[in-house]
Amino acid sequence: MSNQTPTIPPVPQPPATKRRRWPWIAAIVLALFAGVGIGSASGETGTTAMPEPQVVTETVTETVTEEVAVTPDACLNALDAAEAVISHAQTAIGRMGEGFEAAASFDISGLDELTAWLDEQTPVVRDARAEYDTRAAECRSAE
């Protein structure tokens, strides 16, 4: 037979105790309150008065020299002459519409009337254009 020695079964160990964290949290909160208490007990109860702001009045006078462009009279006259030429051209264009209508309806007397009117207006427009050319040259030399 074999010789067996009696053995004791292993005894289960109790679980390890958890470290408690609340003492650390309590210590931090107590330190916070202690700091606030010490800071408020320093003896200063009033606030420091701010000095009144100083009123400074300073007057600055600055002279600004500015060049203002002035349109020469010669250029204004050239614009007036250009408006006259445009007015004549506008009237002629309106009458040309009448001429197209007369041509479309084979109205020979209407075309003859328009041709006579254009013959009368040609020297007027030519003179207005010459006036504009003269005024425009004066304007360009005035600049």
- Give the tens place of pLDDT for each residue, 39-50: 776 666 666 677
State the Cα–Cα distance between residues 62 and 51, nearest whole angstrom. Answer: 33
* Position 120 in a domain: yes
Joined together, the tokens standing for residue 52 give 């009144």
pLDDT tens track for 67-107: 888 888 899 999 999 999 999 999 998 898 888 898 999 99
* Position 16 in a domain: no
* Position 85 in a domain: yes
* Position 105 in a domain: yes
* Position 9 in a domain: no
2 vs 61, higher pLDDT: 61
pTM: 0.48
* Position 59 in a domain: no
Q: Do 120 and 76 contact (CB within 8 A), yes or no?
A: no
Domain span at 126: 73-142
* Position 83 in a domain: yes
State the Cα–Cα distance between residues 42 and 36, nearest whole angstrom. Answer: 10
* Position 78 in a domain: yes
Number of domains in the chain: 1
Average pLDDT over residues 10-17: 78
